[in-house]
Structure 1
Amino acid sequence: MFSRFLIAVLLLSGQPGFGHEFWIEPESYQVEPGASMTATLRNGQNFEGISLAWFDNRFTRFELATGETLTPVEGRMGDTPALQAIAPGDGLLIVLHETTPSNLTYKEWEKFLAFAEHKDFPTAAAAHTAAGWPKEGFRESYTRHAKALMAVGDGSGQDRAFGLATEFVALTNPYDPQFDGNMRVRVTYQGLPRRDAQVEVFDKGADGTVAVSLTRTDQDGVAVVPVTPGHSYLFDAVVLRASPQAGSSEKAPVWETLWAALTFAVPE
């Protein structure tokens, strides 16, 4: 128990070298009204990661949305899973989570170059050099902006924008009986569509095998991803921008990343 708690603290403190993605993983994506439900905050890679406990000073939003109703997630320090609640009435339930900023330090220029290539920021290296920032020992600030789609009872309803700094907005409901197997999502940043943005798709089968692929949004910020019944999914999209703190001190971050994530499952 102590070692798991220590790992969570290290992850939340922004130590470099740990996993990249952050997501909300319900124990079950489909529950009945009035049933107990749980969801874990995870940090890791390739849709595999460790559970992060409840720390109320590490997030700015943690809410459940049903229709127009927003309800804060209640918890206590150290709760694992972080979400433990009673399912509301029938409908699409959306779990929202935004973190406070954390920092990491790039000790090697090559690691930043690899990250920029992986997340599709082809001009990052040139912008970094033009700004005169150091290529060793520089910092990045990052925040997480995650959503999960769950079905309570019939799971009917529609996702919407909730004003996250960056977010996925599901344009189709995977729990709808008329769902055609194509998940349509819009990626936004500061409330506007992100055009030609890279979306990383993690597809987990019933046997736990994970397939990873890339797609892009169109001119309306929309990506269409074919999905498979019985599988669960994590969509990930990252914004990289110059930190507003850059140049304010030697230890100030020069880059800032904002990570959007969406998780859901497709019923069999």
Structure 2
Amino acid sequence: MRARLLPILLLLTTSAALAHEFWLEAPRFRLQPGQTVSVHTFVGADFKGEPWTTKATKIQRLVRYGPTPTDSTSLTPISPTEADTFHTAFYFKQPGTHVVLLRSTNSFIELPADQFTAYLREEGLDYALKLRQERDEMAKPGRETYRRCAKALIQVGEAAATATATDSACRHVYGLPLELVPEQNPYRLAADKALTVRVLRAGKPAFGVAVQVWQRQPGSLPTTHYTTRANQNGRILLRLSGPGPYLLAAVEMGVSPAKLHDRADWQSTWASLTFAGPPATVRPTIK
């Protein structure tokens, strides 16, 4: 019995290990003007993560976009070597909503056929799974390059009661291959109000893409999680029921570009968006 269970347990463990989201997280999502804060990179499951990497060669783009077009800071490494590390300490000077954006370089992984199939099913990557079946490739190992695109929304000072130019950065499209773009500024929404988020593939609506939504709860309460899918216009709808923070994550997989065919058959793109929700409501004490 133990001999039969071991391969199954190994497969489940490997599959779970691959189902890791990647995100950016600041120690606080709400800051005062003039603070310098490191926005950390995490990889993990269920909105619980470990530090990702310190290798500068893994960074293709690392930028802070401020609330005005002229306010931005790039920490993208220039001609890094394998020994170089990258830094994520940004100076948040101006009041308003800031965006910190990271795009990674491509990494490579190869998995045995059964583990790759389990991974595709767990992540809901139906297109890749169907294509493998149609091509009679289910017995082939999965050779994949993967890249990561993460954004964090940081509020500096108090958010304006109505839309202003200082909160528009979070609604911009930044040209990522897979991108989550809020249509409203979450820092101006009251509790239980709707937030619409666009899922874009190369700037176009990504119909049907699954989006994982996590919300951390205060105290020792468990993190909540659910999955939704982008509609025909590439939009999802969610309600901010508490202060969070929130993590939205999506992944897509397609046939690897021709320039990578000698090594990989597939390319996946992972996207995430993190932000805080409405402040917790303090209920008055009735005496």
- The alignment partner of 2:187 has SS state of coil
Of residues 91, 99, 106, the one that matches 1:101 is 106
Q: Which residue of 1 aligns with 2:154?
A: 150
Judge conservation of contact 1:139–1:253 (CA < 8 Å) in 2.
yes
Aligned to 2:69: 68
Alpha-carbon distance, 1:74 to partner: 6.7
Structure 1 residues 33 and 228 mapped into 2: Cα distance closer, same or farther (>3 Å)?
Answer: same
Q: Which has the higher strand share?
A: 1
- Output aligned runs, 1:212-227, within 5 Å: 212-227=225-240
CA RMSD of aligned residues (A): 2.4
- TM superposition shift of 1:134: 6.1
Q: How do 1:1-268 residues align onto structure 2 when only pairs under 5 Å count? A: 17=17, 20-66=20-66, 67-69=68-70, 70-73=72-75, 77-78=84-85, 82-109=87-114, 111-133=115-137, 135-155=139-159, 156-158=166-168, 159=170, 160-176=172-188, 181-207=193-219, 209-245=222-258, 248-249=261-262, 252-268=263-279
The amino acid that maps onto 1:240 is M
Compare 40-49 and 200-209 and name the one that shifted more. Answer: 200-209
Q: Distance in 2 between matches of 1:59 and 1:74?
A: 7
How high is the sequence identity, in percent, across the aligned residues? 26
Gaps of 5+ in 2: 1-15, 160-165, 280-287
Moved more, 129-138 or 150-159: 129-138
Q: Aligned-pair distance for 1:132? A: 4.7
CA contact (8 A) 1:106 1:136 kept: no
Structure whose alpha-carbon radius of gyration is higher:
2
What are the superposed Cα offsets for residues 117-140 of structure 1, whole Å, 9 maximum, x if unpaired? Answer: 232233433311333546343311
Query: Which stretch shifts more, 221-230 or 118-127?
Result: 118-127
Q: Which shifted more, 239-248 or 163-172? A: 239-248
Distance (Å, rounded) in 1 between the aligned partners of 2:244 and 2:217: 5
Q: Give the conservation status (yes or no) of the 8 Å contact 1:245–1:253.
A: no
Residue by residue over 1:17-39, the C-alpha shift from the partner in whole angstroms, topping out at 9 and shown as x without a partner, is 45511000111000011012121
Tell me the equivalent position of 1:11: none
Residues 69-78 or 44-53, more deviating: 69-78
SS of corresponding position for 2:218: coil
Displacement after TM superposition at 1:106 (Å): 1.2
**1:133–1:254 contact (8 Å) kept in structure 2:** no
Query: For residue 3 of structure 1, what is the aligned residue in structure 2?
Result: none
The TM-score with structure 2 as length reference comes to: 0.78
1:217 CA drift (Å): 1.5
Structure 2 residue identity aligned to 1:261: S
Aligned residues: 248
Q: Distance in 2 between matches of 1:190 and 1:58?
A: 21
Structure 1 window deviating more from structure 2 (220-229 vs 124-133): it is 124-133
